[in-house]
Amino acid sequence: MTAMKEPRDGYAQALLELGAQHDDVFVLDGDCATPNYTIRFRNAYPERFVNIGIAECDIIGTAAGLSLLGKVPFANAYANFLTGRGYDQIRVSVAYCQRNVKIAGHNAGTTAAQEGATHLPLEDVGLMRAIPDMTVIVPADATEMHKATLAAYEFDGPVYLRVGKLPVPELTGEETPFTIGKAVTMREGSDVTLVSTGCILSEVLKAAEILKTEGVKAEVLHVHTVKPIDAEAIVTSATKTGAVVSAEEHSILNGLGSAVAEVLGENLPVPLERIGTRDIFGLSGTMDELFDYFGLRAENIADAARRAISRKA
């Protein structure tokens, strides 16, 4: 059985390691240190932890100021409020001013399901992707979140990390490569390319197994970095398979689906089907219930693959 783990756990562990190795690491939060697991950093390095309170704009502004002092701040809050309320500060004080700030959006996607529509961000990746010079990373599991956090520290420039709350399957290992901006081929195939980002990877891999029983060889391309997108990997795979499906636990508007459509439209027009939420707000429920409600399951992805294959010239 595949192990289940919270992505926020991998994030918190990486912060502890960075704090031990680098005196310039600061962590900021807004009264959510316990659910965000940043309390672990606070307990270990209280002199480098700042609780701003429920004031997302101030969290970003303070982080930008710390970066001016040569610090590497990790700004934490719930993703919907951090990217929504803090958008202007992220855009101007961080990105426009080229500040080395790492922005961690917690409770992201359907992991916020039971907290209701207002707390369920399905647009955060799109908001961050639209900002110039912003790097956007959506890890699949806790192990990859750990790697992404360490890589974000080494990266010079603003980074948005999408941090999931609830346990998801551990599908990557220590041996799985992680480089910002480089996709990972999780499965080789020749009939259709399944491009995924984030925790929906488990459903994508299940869809590939479903298709295998039908004689369809699906290639699975995991794109943990939505921006900059690995256009070369997508085009290379699409050239081989001739059909593509994108899958994300996020709106298809300005998320992974849009990014893949842009790459294919500019380089290699092939049939593309997009799995994700479709111009809709979230609602209360469990994570499993919302995966069903939004049509993010393996069978939905397999159906999309069948449609894409049927549209091949």
pLDDT of residue 111: 85
pLDDT of residue 267: 98
158 exposure class (CB count in 10 Å sphere: 0-12, 13-18, 19+)? buried
Q: What is the mean pLDDT of residues 197-218?
A: 98
Pairing of strands 244-251, 218-222: unpaired
Q: pLDDT of 151-197, one tens digit each? A: 999 999 999 999 999 999 999 999 999 999 999 999 999 999 999 99
pLDDT of residue 114: 79
Range 4-169: architecture per CATH? 3-Layer(aba) Sandwich (3.40)
Cα(119)–Cα(146) distance, rounded to whole angstroms?
A: 24
Cα(287)–Cα(5) distance, rounded to whole angstroms?
A: 14
Q: Give the CATH class of 184-310.
A: alpha beta
pLDDT of residue 112: 82
What are the boundaries of each domain within the chain? 4-169, 184-310
Cα(194)–Cα(302) distance, rounded to whole angstroms?
A: 9
Q: What is the mean pLDDT of residues 142-151?
A: 98
Q: pLDDT of 219-235, one tens digit each? A: 999 999 999 999 999 99
Q: Which residues make Cβ contacts (< 8 Å) with residue 81, sequence separation at least 6?
A: 56
pTM above 0.85, yes or no: yes
CA distances from 242 to 92, 161, 195, 197, 285 (A): 41, 31, 13, 20, 37
pLDDT of residue 47: 98
